[in-house]
Structure 1
Amino acid sequence: MLKKIVKHPQLARYFSKDVAFENEKEILHAKATRYKPDRIVFDGTSVVLLDFKAPPLVQEHIDNLNNYASLFKDLLFAEIKCVLYYFDVEEVEQWSFVEEAKVES
């Protein structure tokens, strides 16, 4: 299953040996809330947040990634991309974070 993820055409670049990343790195918020995206990929002033889920797509998955993304916006990252990967169906949902994010399949 892992090979399918790292070789997936929409995800492979996020698993390249040339990227800086953190896996399941806890992000602390001032309100003592803890966030832990599955993978964070850094590229200069850009960041990609990846979460891996079991289907089906639910709004909570999108909301969680948008919460993570808002923290990185506060850290002044210029571009923030959110990516959800669904096991079993091998489906990818992705969007660029803005205040009103919309999913692009």
Structure 2
Amino acid sequence: MGPGRIMLLPMSVFAVEYVYVADTESIRDEHRPAHREFLAGLVADSDGIALVASGPYVDGSGALLLIAAPSQAALAERLAKDPFAINGTIAVLRMTEWSPVTGELAHHA
């Protein structure tokens, strides 16, 4: 590979579920701007991690994030830097490799 060329890493899509610690709404409100800035920074760069979509559950119990990443380990390492994780608002973080076969996100498979 010559200079100036970017090596594309093999990617998987992960469905990441955050389940929030009960009664942490005020902490999440305080850190939400930094959390959203963190998510906006998940763009395919040298580590290959890129946010596909994200959003909270309507009932406020957690959130679902779809993230392309070269490995689950790399993604877990990056998500540990989320301000919500750092500030103890996530009770459960579940990551499942997902294959979007049909629909608007199928090109990520």
- TM-score for the superposition, normalised by structure 2: 0.31
**Which structure would you say has the larger RCO, counting Cα contacts within 8 Å and 6 or more residues apart?**
2
Select the structure of larger CA radius of gyration.
Answer: 2
